[in-house]
Structure 1
Amino acid sequence: MITKEQVQELIGREAYGSDGDKIGKLGQVYLDDQTGQPEFATVNTGLFGMSESFIPLADASVTGDGLAVPFSKDRVKDAPNVSPDGGHLSPEDEQRLYEYYGLDYDRSAGLGYDESGDLGYDGSVGDRDDVDGTVGRDTSGPTTDDAMTRSEERLDVGTRSEEAGRVRLRKYVETEHVQTTVPVQRERAVIEREPITDENFDEATSGPEISEEEHEVVLHEEKPVVSTHAEPVERVRLGKEQRTDQETVSGEVRKERIETDGDVDNR
């Protein structure tokens, strides 16, 4: 048996059918005037919960996040259309509902009625009085007003800095073959002949008239000599600069749409 306190906690939460499907959110709760126990509850069904169906609570049970009833969603949606008069169900309406759901209807079995013979509901549970004069009533719960807010998601785009790589500056030695041209000097022997004159006659006849002689001349030449020396040629350092590129990003955003169910004029 569901208590009044349990139902108060369930107002605005989901009702689940026998097949596990969501039926709608719980709205008003009708209590037995004699025992104070919940007998009927309204469930918001239809497009956007614009319709309201009655469902008996006799065999309902509390689940982790709502209320489970032994009827399918379609059966609840097709329940007889009942409009409580002054917040009370008449015996005729109650009987129609019990018969529709295949339950035994016994008016003398403790189903509470007020002095007029009607089954009433507790106005503090799931009831929203239109004290501000607004036409209509809210079927989505006790904490909302007479307007519906439509929201959209927006992409929040920004940047974050992360390491993209590292650059190191290192020095190494490589050997290459270099060729160059160097001028070198060489000595070579040449024969010089001069005639006998008065000036060189004495030198020419200072030796024996006939003899064997030998004269030697040392010849020299230059050879290329290769060596190396180190000298600085440039300085190299690592630096950073910033560059701005354009990148395209994408994401999925959700948008709420509001539709109407019923005969209504757009303004």
Structure 2
Amino acid sequence: MISTQQIHELSQIGGTVVGTDGEKIGKVGQVFLDDHTGEPEWVTVHTGLFGLSESFVPLTDASVVGDTLSVPYDKQMVKDAPRIDAAGELSQSDEQELYGYYGRSYDTADQSTFGTEQGLDAHSAAPTQSAGFDAANDDSMTRSEEQLRVGTEEVQTGKVKLRKHVVTEDVTTTVPVSHEEVRLERVPVTDAQASGINETGELGSEEQEVTLHAERPVVDKETVPVERVRLDTETVVEDERVDAQLRKEQIETEGLDDGTNRQV
């Protein structure tokens, strides 16, 4: 069973409420105690955009670990719970409606929660707050005002895919090549060489052939890995302004002895 101290601490720090699948449902709001036993019976959970909606969840079978409250229901079920005003006390009809929604017998739930068949005389639970006066026997007036609660929720903004395809591009490069050319050389023949070259002393015909060589570019291609590409995400924090209009009640006096009116 969750102790009053545990649930008080969660309420003060705005503990996280998670469902059966471990998904975050929202933040702990108000805690409602049984009028007779003083034990925690209900808790409200801030859900929806900016946590502006408040849903009731029974604390029966719930558990606390650190700053997390685990309830035996999923997020959608809690969000779709009957909308009941969290201010003041839960009436008998409110509790019956909530117990019915969560699939629990009202009488059975009372017996399992309080250990007796008497349950709550009025079947109501009071929020854990002290008024400082008896509203039923006091001539004072309560002033209320709206307060802005701003939170965040994670939404999907888009998807990014990696896709690989082949493109063709023109590449120009240079490579040095060599070739042979014929060059005519004339070397004078000396008298000593002349007698040995043409011993017959007769004129005649003669032919010589020279084979020329040249280099030419040879192109070959191979596929090689050059880099690895992957997608990663980073969180960028920026300030976004939220505008809202809040209403509040003002109390003014009339008929004071000095003839002045005052606003509070």
TM-score where L is the length of structure 2: 0.48
Q: Which structure's relative contact order is higher, taking Cα pairs within 8 Å and 6+ residues apart?
A: 1
TM-score where L is the length of structure 1: 0.48
Q: Which has the higher helix share?
A: 2
